[in-house]
Structure 1
């Protein structure tokens, strides 16, 4: 009986000692592995772009998918689908550097959207820095001290 109590005590001691590491791993995993969806509306000089978008983050690699509608003062209307992979790394606690792995191949579409969207969304090997703050089940993407996107966890 004494031997069983010593073994059980040893197991409990090991679990207590390693529990902070397990908790830390869990929170780091959640920080590096998440997916969210959001909507964006951008208007500038008579042009407008509205889209639904999805970000998937997984261990330094990510996927971006967006479907939207572009319109301008000249009544150009165009359905826009953007899909590409990206890499990311944490610069500070909340600063995340994202770099696109691919770009939009349609140069006319890039010309239409470039006044409205950062190069990260349009051109291969372009980066953007977001502060990503988790709030409940949402993520707030901040760029240049301004909220850029509210992204709801999937």
Structure 2
């Protein structure tokens, strides 16, 4: 009986260490493996853009897909879309994203789009974002320490 108690006493710290290491590994993995959706409205002097964005982060690569519509003050509504493949890495408390491929439609962007960082339209351009878990349901994306959008977690 004494040997069994001694074995349990020795086994308990080992199991605790394994559980803590697994928890730390899962937490680290979740920081670079997630997907979320966001809705964005941009209003300018020439018109407005309504867009839905889907972000997917998968280790050190990712994908942004967007679909929307641009409504100029004069003229017909123009459908817009983009698919951006990017690589990323963690640097301090931010993620650095570098676009590898972009397929922006329409090819000639409306005037409002010139205010968007060129990461979204040009290959090999970067952007630094802080992505903060706001609550169990989503993240806040910060651009230059300013909240840019809320992104709801998708499964």
TM range (shorter): 0.7 to 0.9
Map 1:49-128; keep pairs closer than 5 Å. Answer: 49-93=49-93, 95-104=94-103, 108-110=107-109, 112=111, 114-128=113-127
- Cα RMSD of the aligned pairs, angstroms, is 2.1
SS of match in other structure, 1:16? helix
Distance 1:121 1:105 in 2: 8
- Residue 2 of structure 1 deviates from its aligned partner by 4.9
Q: Does residue 32 of structure 1 match 2:32?
A: yes
Tell me the equivalent position of 2:22. Answer: 22
Query: Residues 23, 62 of structure 1: CA spacing in aligned structure 2 closer, same or farther, 3 A cutoff?
Result: same
Residue 144 of structure 2 corresponds to which residue in structure 1?
144
Task: Give me the TM-score of the superposition, normalised by structure 1.
Answer: 0.86
Aligned length: 153
Q: CA deviation at 1:99?
A: 1.1
**TM-score in terms of structure 2 length:** 0.86
| Displacement of 1:146 | 1.8
Structure 2, unaligned stretches of length 5 or more? none
- Indicate if the aligned counterparts of 1:48 and 1:72 stay in contact, CA closer than 8 A: yes
Structure-1 separation of matches of 2:97 and 2:131: 11
TM-aligned CA distance change 1:97 to 1:65, over 3 Å:
same
- Runs of 4+ with deviation above 6 angstroms: none
Please list every run of 5 or more consecutive structure 1 residues that lacks an aligned counterpart in the other structure. Answer: none
